[in-house]
Structure 1
């Protein structure tokens, strides 16, 4: 019965506008499209663009098992579901830019019961004698690394090949995404959620990240070190030969220009963590990105509003991913789709408009 209702809903409600073309917007658009919706992406920036306001192209990116997640929690679920999808893309979409790779992860926290959720990844504990300075714990496991520029362009190509529409624009108010035939609007605006009219989420804040993109094809694995508030990572962008060296995690900072002193510190820490970098590398660029952080964490929820003709519109929010955009992208977008299905199924049962 539920399946029948689902298809009935899609037959009646199949037009969706997605605001934002970062990894969350693109992934949500693809899932909506696969579910039978006609989808348009409205965004100021698209893959291939470079802007401080466009965070996704600046990521590493990798999937790492966050030891702070509670088994069975919402956050653990969306991390796990994303991992499964990304692993599947390695076999089913060889042009996606997703590659299998070993990650060596070190931190200054003694292992405890929270590590139990990692068991399905079969991590190998690294002997104390092999830990880098400052680390108290180390594990290694096979995970995924993503060639970000290639991956974003692949997502956009899949979307347009499937009949998706794109429109380059900067919205001042979420109601500008409403239209005569629009049934669903998905807000994937990241940091812009703080000043987008009708949303204006004041719990959003930037977390500045500075990185160095280098060419070092001999680097074939990932390493991360977290000691106190300092983060160090060496992340290959898939199998492209390009490597992201990082980084910083500066809350409430938004300076756009790379800092030379910070860059020197990143380089020194990365060489100490991954000594074979000294075999030779070429610096391609120094980068700054602003992670879309949120005081209360990720927001995935629906509400309703009405367009100028009085038609009820389902709004779904999917933003506030902080530094976990790629590794929660498929899981959070699937959650958004499920909420949209539910909202459309119950539409007309007295839901209150919030806008």
Structure 2
């Protein structure tokens, strides 16, 4: 019997954990190497900061659309299971001005209970709106669930700070999967100057009575959203600050977020004033954005001792990490299977 191919995954964010789990369950012997793990808080560890709602985005690339749809179907199935932190709820998306996108193509036939909202169901000064049933993810619970699934399937973990791709190239390792996220910009052997941070600030409140998600996209680019979690917390956001590395929550931004969210969702106050909103914490995260989109490809590199190492890159997901995680992981699996077949054919 041939030995299992060994894979080292760099990074334990949602993309790294999902990729490691998919590969481990498909016959590979996987180790995830990362400095930060579920339960840790660091500005260099983006996944715990995410709002994590499945709200589809319009992509002009059929590959992206496929990746997104695979992820939605998987997360929908996970919402049937206990302890995943994934739940279903109604989602209402409003646009201040008609976005003139093909919503029928983007939503209908894939997302459950999709409707274009009639004018009389739209908030004041809103031109267009849709609704459908979506999933939201309680991030701390979900990340721990992914990790537990990975280790239960036989996956191995290593807590370590790596400085270079070569640091993950161990004897008998066949593939290295690069899921370094925002760190890909300065990670040795990658140094991808196309990667940049898009700062996001959110306010987390306790509002277990909110059982639906809402968002509003304004013409000037302002994006307001309300995302409930299974535990009763609600994520209020947000911001999209390109190339902003500031890690400190800004009080004026927090005040703006609260006012925008209460205007969009008056139910937050339960007919009381702003002071009745129970604020739990303020959070800042750096989305791993990348010019040109996700880098999802393989390459062969010769390391310092003359060995050819197969690298699969899977990073640059911007704010789509949870939305794209399962589809990206399966795409990575297909890529390394293809490389493996080509390699075996040459032998």
TM-score interval for Structure 1 and Structure 2 normalised by the shorter chain: over 0.9
Match of 1:201 among 178, 192, 197: 192
Residues 86, 137 of structure 2: 8 Å contact kept: yes
Separation in 2, partners of 1:283, 1:345: 53
Residues 185, 314 of structure 1: 8 Å contact kept: yes
Residue pairs, 1:274-293, within 5 angstroms: 274-279=265-270, 280-293=276-289
* Displacement after TM superposition at 1:156 (Å): 0.5
Separation in 2, partners of 1:65, 1:38: 33
Structure 1 residue 229 and structure 2 residue 221: aligned?
A: yes
Structure 1: runs of 5 or more not aligned = 1-7, 351-355
* Displacement after TM superposition at 1:222 (Å): 0.3
Query: What whole-Å deviation, never above 9, does each CA across 1:269-291 have from its counterpart, x for those lacking one?
Result: 00001101002542110000000
Residues 4, 29 of structure 2: 8 Å contact kept: no
Secondary structure in structure 2 of the residue aligned to 1:346: helix
* Displacement after TM superposition at 1:113 (Å): 5.5
Match of 1:337 among 329, 333, 336: 333
* Displacement after TM superposition at 1:111 (Å): 5.5
* Displacement after TM superposition at 1:49 (Å): 0.4
Q: Which residue of 2 aligns with 1:152?
A: 143
Separation in 1, partners of 2:299, 2:237: 38
Structure 1 residue 315 and structure 2 residue 302: aligned?
A: no
Residues 97, 146 of structure 1: 8 Å contact kept: yes
Residues 184, 195 of structure 2: 8 Å contact kept: yes
Q: 1:35 to 1:260 in 2, by over 3 A?
A: same
Residues 4, 27 of structure 2: 8 Å contact kept: no
Query: What whole-Å deviation, never above 9, does each CA across 1:18-56 have from its counterpart, x for those lacking one?
Result: 000000000000000001111111111000001111100
Report the TM-score when normalising by structure 2: 0.93
Q: Which residue of 2 aligns with 1:18?
A: 9
Structure 1 residue 165 and structure 2 residue 123: aligned?
A: no
Q: 1:134 to 1:174 in 2, by over 3 A?
A: farther
* Displacement after TM superposition at 1:308 (Å): 4.8
Query: What whole-Å deviation, never above 9, does each CA across 1:161-191 have from its counterpart, x for those lacking one?
Result: 1221111111111000001011110000011
Residue pairs, 1:1-355, within 5 angstroms: 11-66=2-57, 68-70=58-60, 73-91=62-80, 93-110=81-98, 112=100, 114-117=102-105, 118-120=107-109, 121=111, 122-227=113-218, 228-237=220-229, 239-279=230-270, 280-347=276-343
RMSD of Structure 2 on Structure 1 (CA): 1.6
Residues 314, 344 of structure 1: 8 Å contact kept: no
Query: What whole-Å deviation, never above 9, does each CA across 1:294-331 have from its counterpart, x for those lacking one?
Result: 01111100001234554332110000000000011001
Separation in 2, partners of 1:291, 1:133: 31
Separation in 1, partners of 2:97, 2:28: 45
Report the TM-score when normalising by structure 1: 0.91
Structure 2: runs of 5 or more not aligned = 271-275
Judge which range, 11-20 or 324-333, deviates more.
11-20
* Displacement after TM superposition at 1:13 (Å): 4.9
Residues 179, 307 of structure 1: 8 Å contact kept: no
Question: How many matched pairs?
Answer: 337
Query: What whole-Å deviation, never above 9, does each CA across 1:210-262 have from its counterpart, x for those lacking one?
Result: 0011111001010011113111000012x210111000001111100000000
Separation in 2, partners of 1:180, 1:188: 20
